[in-house]
């Protein structure tokens, strides 16, 4: 007999895996108003503080005045408004690709792109720590799916060899994030590029947590490591360091033409609001200004400050490579307890549990922003040191 909804919820609760929504009654900023309490926010992906940036707000307001609030239809009907086109031109320019395409969310980007490119008898090979949207895209495409342990080049190569021997005619796609969303570390990109090139496979790189933060003008990790020209499908989100919402793919003109014709989450969904596109365009332009560079420098300084106060987190091969810092505690109960304890002290640091991470790898996920002050970071570190004793 099917499990009842009540018993399913009870099971989640018993395993410390039940999630509940929390209402935030303030903008995204270092201080959040949560259930009537002010908490210092170390949980947001708004790494540069752009979600509340005046130039972005003004761009959105102006677009509302000019174009209204809704796009009215899907992009292929009559929903492609000038702000969408300008944003895509700018993104292609920014990432130095022939073309770009914007989706309503990063999730829709991943699912739509993999689904458009990959079919039954093709092969998708993913890093085990890839985001759910990439995994769902691979599964929904109907292609054969192979997963390699995080950054494990030998296993990646053996999957490519398997695909070559068993499906010599197939399209083969390797998928990885550049900065991993729950661990904050980097993909071993030059090596992955070298292997996929030897096997004639394509590479899809999700730069969700790198764009805006890493690389010249925040172009991402592939740019920083000098391999952007070798990445066929450069995906990212507009929802994290860029401060708005939506996702994008940058690549060749023919890739984008195929996505326009085949990506179901693009075709069968109303175009994003024009204000979103206008704000995202302002965000990309902000990246290229001295103010953008300054914001990245402040973020780097804040990260160095955190690392100097928490050296025990960065021993051996554990390096601070992004604005995401996992503090792995093991059980869900321990992670929740620690998050609650921090909330009592005035800090919002979320507990991340299964299925977002492995069952025995529940953690606190600290994110640092350019808007935090060194004093706020020191105050958090004092609590974290107490917790890790």
Rounded to an integer, what distance in angstroms lies between the CA atom of residue 246 and that of residue 237?
6
Residues 144 and 125: their CA atoms lie apart, in Å, by 8
Q: Which of 196, 240, 371, 372 is catalytic?
A: 240
Single residue of 53, 122, 157, 177 touching ligand PMP by CB under 6 A: 177
206: contact with ligand PMP by CB under 6 A: yes
Using CA atoms, how far apart are residues 324 and 368, in angstroms rounded to an integer? 7
Query: Segment contacting ligand PMP (CB under 6 A): 101-109, 112-120, 277-285, 344-352?
Result: 101-109
133: contact with ligand PMP by CB under 6 A? yes
Among candidate residues 43, 181, 322, 332, the one labeled active-site is 181
- Shortest approach of ligand PMP to residue 272 CB, angstroms? 11
Of residues 44, 141, 239, 322, which one binds ligand PMP by CB under 6 A?
239
The residues pairing with 34 across neighbouring beta strands, listed in sequence order, are 24, 37
Q: Pick the binder of ligand PMP from 42, 67, 94, 107 (CB under 6 A).
A: 107
- Separation between Cα atoms, residue 226 and residue 76, nearest integer Å: 35
Q: CB nearer to ligand PMP: give 131 or 363.
A: 131
Residue among 371, 310, 385 nearest 40 (CA): 371
User: Which segment (104-112, 114-122, 261-269, 336-344) binds ligand PMP by CB under 6 A?
Assistant: 104-112
246 touches 237 (CB < 8 A): yes
φ/ψ of residue 242, rounded to 5: -80, -10
Could you give the string, one character per residue 263-302, with x where binding to ligand PMP holds by CB under 6 A and - elsewhere? ----------------------------------------
User: Taking CB under 6 A as the criterion, which residues in 28-67 touch ligand PMP?
Assistant: none
Distances (CA, A) of 386 to 42, 171, 311, 379: 17, 51, 14, 11
**Distance from C-alpha of 264 to C-alpha of 253, rounded to nearest angstrom:** 18
Choose between 163 and 247: whose C-beta lies nearer to ligand PMP: 247
Query: According to CB under 6 A, which one of 28, 237, 302, 321 is a site residue for ligand PMP?
Result: 237
Count of residues engaged in binding ligand PMP, rule: CB under 6 A? 13
Catalytic residue chosen out of the listed positions 95, 209, 305, 372: 209
Any contact of residue 105 with ligand PMP (CB under 6 A)?
yes
Residue 112 within binding range of ligand PMP, rule CB under 6 A? no
The b/e string for 31-63 (b: 16+ C-beta within 10 A; e otherwise) is ebebeeeebbbbbbbbbbbbbebeebbebbeeb
Q: Please, what is the minimum distance in Å from the beta carbon of residue 106 to ligand PMP?
A: 2
Cis peptide, bond prior to residue 355, ω within 30 of zero: yes
Q: Is 105 a catalytic residue?
A: no
What count of other Cβ atoms lies within 10 Å of the Cβ of residue 160? 22
Q: Which stretch binds ligand PMP (CB under 6 A): 27-35, 70-78, 103-111, 216-224?
A: 103-111
Question: Which listed residue (84, 131, 365, 371) binds ligand PMP by CB under 6 A?
Answer: 131
Q: CA 183 → CA 21, 31, 44, 83, 154, distances in Å?
A: 23, 24, 15, 34, 21
**Radius of gyration, CA atoms only, the chain:** 21
**Maximum Cα–Cα distance for the chain, whole Å?**
62
- Decide if 339 is catalytic: no
Residue with the shortest CB distance to ligand PMP: 106
Q: Which is nearer to ligand PMP, 147 or 170 (CB)?
A: 147
Closest CA to 74 of 349, 272, 221, 301: 272
332 touches ligand PMP by CB under 6 A: no
Asked if 372 is an active-site residue, the reply is no
Return the active site residues.
181, 209, 240
- Contact footprint for ligand PMP (CB under 6 A): 105-107, 110, 131, 133, 177, 181, 206, 208, 237, 239, 247
């Amino acid at each position: 007999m099917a499990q009842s909804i009540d018993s399913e919820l009870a099971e989640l609760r018993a395993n410390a895996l039940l999630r509940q929504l929390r209402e935030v009654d303030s903008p995204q900023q270092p201080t959040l108003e949560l259930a009537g309490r002010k908490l210092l926010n170390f949980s947001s992906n708004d790494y540069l503080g752009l979600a509340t940036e005046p130039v972005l707000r003004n761009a959105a307001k102006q677009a509302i005045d000019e174009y209204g609030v809704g796009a009215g239809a899907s992009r292929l009907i009559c929903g492609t408004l000038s702000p969408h086109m300008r944003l895509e031109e700018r993104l292609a320019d920014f990432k130095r690709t022939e073309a770009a395409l914007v989706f309503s969310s990063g999730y829709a980007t991943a699912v739509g792109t993999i689904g458009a490119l990959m079919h039954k008898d093709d092969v998708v090979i993913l890093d085990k720590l890839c985001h759910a949207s990439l995994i769902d895209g691979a599964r929904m495409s109907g292609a054969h799916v192979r997963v390699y342990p995080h950054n494990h080049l030998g296993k990646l190569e053996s999957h490519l060899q398997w695909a070559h021997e068993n499906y010599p005619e197939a399209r083969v796609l390797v998928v990885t994030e550049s900065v991993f969303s729950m661990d904050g570390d980097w993909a071993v990109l030059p090596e992955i590029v070298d292997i996929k090139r030897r096997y004639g496979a394509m590479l899809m790189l999700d730069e969700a947590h790198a764009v805006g933060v890493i690389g010249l003008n925040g172009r991402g990790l592939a740019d920083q490591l000098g391999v952007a020209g070798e990445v066929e499908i450069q995906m990212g989100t507009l929802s994290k360091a860029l401060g708005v919402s939506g996702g994008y793919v940058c690549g060749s003109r023919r890739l984008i033409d195929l996505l326009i014709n085949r990506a179901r989450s693009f075709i069968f969904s109303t175009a994003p609001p024009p204000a979103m596109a206008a704000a995202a365009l302002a965000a990309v332009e902000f990246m290229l200004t001295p103010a953008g560079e300054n914001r990245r420098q402040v973020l780097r300084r804040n990260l160095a400050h955190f690392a100097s106060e928490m050296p025990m987190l960065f021993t051996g091969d554990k390096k601070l490579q992004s604005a995401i810092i996992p503090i792995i505690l093991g059980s869900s109960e321990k992670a929740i307890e620690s998050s609650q304890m921090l909330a009592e002290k005035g800090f919002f640091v979320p507990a991340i549990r299964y299925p977002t991470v492995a069952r025995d790898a529940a953690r606190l996920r600290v994110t640092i922003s350019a808007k935090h002050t060194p004093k706020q970071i020191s105050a958090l570190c004092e609590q974290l040191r107490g917790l890790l004793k």
